[in-house]
Amino acid sequence: MNTNSNSYTIGYASIMVIIVAFLLAFVSSSLKEKQVENVKLDTKKQILSALNITDGDVASNYNEMVKDFVLNADGTLTEQSANDFKVDYSKEIKENRLHVFECNVNGEKKYLFPVRGAGLWGPIWGYVALNEDKNTVYGTYFGHEGETPGLGAEITKPFFSEQFKGKTVSKDGNVVLSVVKNGKVSDSSCEVDGISGGTITSKGVDAMLKESLSRYKSFLASAVATDANSGATKVEAAADSTAKCAAAKAVEANAAQASGKDGYGDFTAVEAAKANVDSIHQEVKDELKK
Amino acid sequence: MSNLKETFLTPLGLNNPVAVQVLGICSALAVTAQLEPAIVMGLSVTIILALANVVISLLRNTIPNRIRIIVQLVVVATLVTIVSEVLKAFAYEVSVALSVYVGLIITNCILMGRLEAFAMANGPLDSLIDGIGNGLGYAIILVIVAAIRELFGAGCLFGIQIIPDCLYEAGYMNCGLMLMPPMALVILGCIIWYMRAKNPELQEK
């Protein structure tokens, strides 16, 4: 058979392409489900890693501690079904679904945000967990697709991500958490060292934090409401201990209800509760004076 | 039998794909900043090269001459894609570690070189051995370069600190330049220099 004739060459190429296409389609579709499961599990592992949990069973730890919410325009949160766990948060951000993960770590409430950005060679991503005050970093996780090993890729190492612990996220409504050139930290309350030799990746992390966390500005700003809430609790506790009046009890119930309604301080409700507490606190004081 | 042994051993020494044929330099620069990715890359190339060699060797009498390079490329790309899909499903950690290197395997000229020069003219068993030999020859050079770069660039091997703290206290510093791609080229150059100085038959007249 003449393997150099035109018809043989064309026929060979066509058959090869069809066989290869079927083979790849078959492999891809038969393994799809398993791959998606793996990616989901890996995403959950990264989320847990940002919460400083690296041992134990990923799936059960995640189900136990983390709840997935989407931030609405009015600042309230809508819980997502656990079966509908998303892995592509850059798509979610693009389509304006801002996810907030509410986590319960050893009885303390933490908020966790996915952040997405670009490094030197490709996408980089991370998860930033904040304390209940929504302004102090509790833990972080960073990942990358193809940054240079030994340089940019070092952002995944604990020595880098652990620097963020305890840093302040925002001041006066602006995100101030930043990565600066190695050794050039001037404000240690909110700046961390970048990686020498990995300048563009470090800058990418910096831009990613600022860009992604700025989207949660309104949510982070409502930390004031939480402060007001805890302030209210303090005031009411004082009132309770000194006067033990029934009115304060009522307010406590009121405040509890307000915070119970959505847990992260619906601004108006808590503000109202605070005003309520203030007025009753005044009453209590007046009563004490008498 | 001695023929097979020779097929296996020459790529490790006198006919090394990297140090003697100077193939696959691009990926050798990219993955040798640390030992671990270098080993992963070396092993993946070995496996893919062995498989591709066997497939092409089986098809060698049917492949039309004019599109043989395309056929070789399709075989390599298909194999790489299938292996990476299978890894994603059953060994997710490994696939994450491989991430970008998968693309580098397809474009590695050692693969094309071996398919074109060896598998097109030899039987499956010889091709398998040749693939493994060349893959390992490539891996050895990667490991040597990576070990030097990681040791002097970061003071570690496999991410574990090797250079003792007392040396750092005495004023020793890691050489940051070692982690940059140009140093891989310099080290590779030194290896080629050594190979040619030691084996005069490699030198052109």
Q: Label residue A247 by pLDDT band (50, 70, 90).
A: very low
Q: How much is the pLDDT for A175?
A: 86
Q: How much is the pLDDT for A206?
A: 92
Is A143 a residue whose pLDDT tops 50? yes
User: To the nearest whole angstrom, how far is the Cα of A277 from the nearest Cα of chain B?
Assistant: 54
Give the residue, A289 or A26, on which the prediction is more confident: A26
CB-nearest to A20 from B33, B78, B149 is B78
Cβ–Cβ under 8 Å, residues B26 and B110:
no
Interface of A with B in 126-155 (CB under 8 A): 145-146, 148-151
Render chain A in DSSP notation, one character per residue. Answer: --TTSHHHHHHHHHHHHHHHHHHHHHHHHHHHHHHHHHHHHHHHHHHHHHTT--SS-HHHHHHHHEEEEEE-TTS-EEEPPGGG----HHHHHHTT-EEEEEEEETTEEEEEEEEEEE-SSSEEEEEEEE-TTSSBEEEEEEEESSPPTTTGGGGGSHHHHGGGTT-B-EETTEE--EEESTT--S-TTTEEE--TT-HHHHHHHHHHHHHHHHTTHHHHHTHHHHHHHHHHHHHHHHHHHHH--HHHHHHHHHHHHHHHHHSS--HHHHHHHHHHHHHHHHHHHHHHH-
Q: How much is the pLDDT for A207?
A: 92
List the domain boundaries for chain B. Answer: 2-147
**B197/A contact by beta carbon, under 8 A:** no
Q: How much is the pLDDT for B20?
A: 80
The answer to whether the Cβ–Cβ distance between A149 and B89 falls below 8 Å is no
Q: How much is the pLDDT for A281?
A: 60
User: To the nearest whole angstrom, how far is the Cα of B51 from the nearest Cα of chain A?
Assistant: 15
Q: pTM of this prediction?
A: 0.67
Cβ–Cβ under 8 Å, residues A215 and A175:
no
Which residue numbers in chain B have pLDDT < 70? 1-2, 99, 205
The answer to whether the Cβ–Cβ distance between A8 and B179 falls below 8 Å is no
Q: Label residue A149 by pLDDT band (50, 70, 90).
A: confident
Q: How much is the pLDDT for A278?
A: 61
Q: How much is the pLDDT for A29?
A: 92
Render B134-165 in DSSP notation, one character per residue. Answer: HHHHHHHHHHHHHHHHHHHHHSEETTEE-S-H
Q: How much is the pLDDT for A1?
A: 66
Q: How much is the pLDDT for A282?
A: 61
Distances (CA, A) of A7 to A10, A12, B75: 5, 8, 21
The answer to whether the Cβ–Cβ distance between B34 and A23 falls below 8 Å is no
Other C-beta atoms closer than 10 Å to the C-beta of B171 total 6
Give rounded-to-5 percent helix, strand, coil for chain B.
Answer: 75, 0, 25
- Write the pLDDT tens digit of every residue in A45-61: 888 888 888 887 888 88
The answer to whether the Cβ–Cβ distance between A197 and B89 falls below 8 Å is no
The answer to whether the Cβ–Cβ distance between A12 and B100 falls below 8 Å is no
For the record, the structure tokens of A159 come out as: 């020595």
Is A74 a residue whose pLDDT tops 90? no
SS3 B131: helix
Q: What average pLDDT score do residues A235-249 get?
A: 44
User: To the nearest whole angstrom, how far is the Cα of A150 from the nearest Cα of chain B?
Assistant: 6
Is A226 a residue whose pLDDT tops 50? no
- Write the pLDDT tens digit of every residue in B125-170: 889 998 999 999 989 998 999 898 888 887 778 877 777 788 778 8
